[in-house]
Amino acid sequence: MTSVVVRGALRCAVSLALVVTASFLMVRLIPGDPVRAALGVDAPPALVAAKRHELGLDQPLATQFRRYVGGLLHGDLGTSLVSGEPVAELVRTRLPATLQLACLAFAVVVAVSVPLGLLAAAATRDGRAPRTELAFTTAASVLAGVPDFVLAAGLTAGLAVGLPLFPVAGGTGASSFVLPVTALSVAPCALLARLVRVEALAVLSQDYMRAARAKRLPARTRYVRHALPNMLVAFLAVAGNLLPGLIAGTALVEKVFAWPGLGSVIAQSVVALDHAVVQAAVLVLGTAVLLANLLVDLALAALDPRSTVLER
């Protein structure tokens, strides 16, 4: 297990270095002058040149990258060009809201998809109820293909504006979580429910499950104590990869609901050409995704020593 942890940590470190490089280069591909955007189109050229020199933007790209990495090693994420606020403070105040949204959506996906997939498998095993199987697979395929931001816009129009049942925007109170969490969780839930059904059908066809039915064990015992543990590795491999996707994919949903998280900051900062904020937000979200993937890989290795997730 020690070697697995070491290999996973090394892979995570290499990936993190790539994320750092990509976040630095990505913002410099955004068209426009960030200093001119921050100071205004009427700012004197001398003031713009002085600000560019202060930020080191008149230096060669390699020199800027060395300064950027040096700042990261000292915990300095830079300063926002627009607000003048330290980016580290902005991340500290905004990241918890994004993690809350992603983790709650993940919990909803797991809590709904597992029993739904098991029920669908139990109802359609051995070729039973073909119409139920068709309805389930069709509905799951359609829902899995709906983009989260499209669903977010529809939920806002229907349940926040048309029928004012939930807040239109903001992140205060339990009711404010309902619509963004629903928008984030519907497609992953449909995808995971299909996977659970397929894996459950394979498990239910095994001889030990037939023996359990022959012994007339209660359905709860058969499914929870026998079927579920034997499909845990495959389930965790897919479900674990959903969490990083939810963390990284909150940006558009946060923008729709004006959620006070890091994703909405990225959208605002790209428009404002606030490079320091964009690269810091991308770096932080990328690091969260890498750590989530590492934890999933370690959990898979612990559950199944034969797993080759970290060996590939």
Average pLDDT for 174-199:
90
User: Taking a C-beta distance cutoff of 8 angstroms, is the pair 72, 20 a contact?
Assistant: yes
> What pLDDT is attached to residue 301?
76
> Rounded to 10 degrees, what is the CA torsion of 41, 260, 192, 186?
-90
> What pLDDT is attached to residue 311?
45
Average pLDDT for 147-166:
87
| Rounded Cα gap, residues 144 and 137, in angstroms | 10
pLDDT band at 190 (very low <50, low <70, confident <90, very high): very high
pLDDT band at 121 (very low <50, low <70, confident <90, very high): confident
Q: From the CB of residue 263, how many other CB atoms can be counted at a distance below 10 Å? A: 23
Q: From the CB of residue 135, how many other CB atoms can be counted at a distance below 10 Å? A: 12
According to DSSP H, which parts of 125-144 are helical? 130-144
Average pLDDT for 157-171:
83
> What pLDDT is attached to residue 105?
92
What is the residue-wise DSSP string for 200-223? HHHHHTSHHHHHHHHTT--HHIII
> What pLDDT is attached to residue 304?
62
The total number of residues written for the chain in this structure = 312
User: Taking a C-beta distance cutoff of 8 angstroms, is the pair 188, 112 a contact?
Assistant: no
pLDDT band at 310 (very low <50, low <70, confident <90, very high): very low
Average pLDDT for 102-118:
90
DSSP 86: B
pLDDT band at 183 (very low <50, low <70, confident <90, very high): very high
pLDDT band at 298 (very low <50, low <70, confident <90, very high): confident
Of the ranges 6-10, 107-111, 300-304, which one carries the lowest mean pLDDT score? Answer: 300-304
> What pLDDT is attached to residue 312?
42
> What pLDDT is attached to residue 309?
42
Average pLDDT for 209-231:
78
pLDDT band at 187 (very low <50, low <70, confident <90, very high): very high
> What pLDDT is attached to residue 308?
47
Provide Rg for the chain, Cα atoms.
24
Average pLDDT for 232-261:
80
| Rounded Cα gap, residues 135 and 186, in angstroms | 17
Cα angle 236-242-245, degrees, rounded to a multiple of 5: 150
| Rounded Cα gap, residues 23 and 25, in angstroms | 6
Average pLDDT for 98-108:
90
| Rounded Cα gap, residues 115 and 157, in angstroms | 30
Q: In the predicted model, what is the mean pLDDT of the chain?
A: 84
Of the ranges 38-42, 120-124, 284-288, which one carries the lowest mean pLDDT score? Answer: 38-42
Domains of the chain (ranges; CATH) run 100-261 (1.10.3720.10)
Higher pLDDT residue, 217 or 110?
110
pLDDT value at 277 more than 60? yes
Average pLDDT for 41-56:
84
DSSP 31: S
Average pLDDT for 252-265:
85
> What pLDDT is attached to residue 167?
86
- Amino acid letter, 219: A
| Rounded Cα gap, residues 185 and 80, in angstroms | 32
User: Taking the model in full, what pTM does it have?
Assistant: 0.80
Tell me phi and psi for residue 308, to 5 degrees. -110, 25
User: Taking a C-beta distance cutoff of 8 angstroms, is the pair 16, 22 a contact?
Assistant: no
Residue 144 tokens read as 């899995």
